[in-house]
Structure 1
Amino acid sequence: MAANLRHEFYETDEKVTISIFDRGVDLANVSIKFDPRRLSYVNGERSLILEPLKGQIDPNTSEFIVGKVKVEIRLVKMSPGRWGGLIGDSPDPLANSAVASSPTSTTKRVKNWEGITTEILGSEKEKSTDEDPNVGGDSTLNGFFQKIFGDADDDTKRAMMKSYQESGGTTLSTNWDEVKKAKVEVKPPAGSEWKKWN
């Protein structure tokens, strides 16, 4: 059967990865079957049948992932080495082995990576600002500095205000004895250049 879906592949000695460009795939309508020398992908009227594969695959460890614009299929080779193509009648070193004599056809379920990510992130305990002042991005960091400023004495508040304003926001000091002596210099981060806006 001729393929009517655009596809491409790359390989390592252990695996062949095939990208089938089939946009907006509904998992309920897709049938993917792995056989030792055959791959079958059917989505409604669209299909891709590859047989005979250049080499033998392991149907039990081969898998696929459904994306928004393509379906990625990973075929695990039974015998390491390069195929150079997907289909052909090249000699299969496993053709006479016990593995080849037991016909196996497997339909795999796709992994729900979105659900796995959500589960992992949901299981992590969120830290409070007392445990980590960087939690929550800039707004929490600002809250951290507001707490320091709110709990400080008058000299510390003066030092913070003067150092922040004179340095263009590049320095924040709480030492009034040091800051009151001279203008606080601008100290941009390493690899950056300070430019004054007009």
Structure 2
Amino acid sequence: MAKALDAIKTDFYQTDEAVIVTLLVKNVKEEYLTVDVQDRKLTVNLKFPDVEEKVLQFNLLRAIIPESSTYKIMSTKVEIKLQKLEGYRWEKLEGALPENYAKPISSAPPLLFDKPPSYPTSKGTDWSAIEKEIIEEELKEKPQGEDGLNQLFQKIYGEGNDEVKKAMNKSFMESGGTVLSTNWKEISEKKVEIKPPDGMEYKKWDS
């Protein structure tokens, strides 16, 4: 007969862009874990060998973006990053929304989870140690080269105001992808010229 898994302690903290749910459980392997992320619901299944399956469900306070959410397995915990649909601070992890809540439509590209926690949401946790650990892990995993550049552009777009986004869209489209500007005042009254890298020539493909 399979034995029962001990109770799993959970916690959460948040940044402006994400809510991070922490499950304090050791020695989890990829094949033991299933994470199902939906608009307002998080379900975690844990199945260790010879141990009864453990199912954790969280009815989230606000909507998140499932396709942009991720999880990470560490030696002493599982960390699940849920990207916020809105930039509001969550007073708690679970709960019902107010009756007058209207779900917004998100038009910005996916944001990146590259900031340490900006404020804790529970007591009795060493947040400075957690922040240091997150920064060290993200530095190790930070993408390089073209991937890193693309993520930087996504971050600028996601955090920019309307003029920054208009400038980036206009400059990229009119220059054939050779210019990316964030200065709307500078480019708003003229067409952005194509500027290929030094030593290269820009050519259109024939239809």
TM-score after normalising by structure 1: 0.45
> Which structure: larger Rg?
1
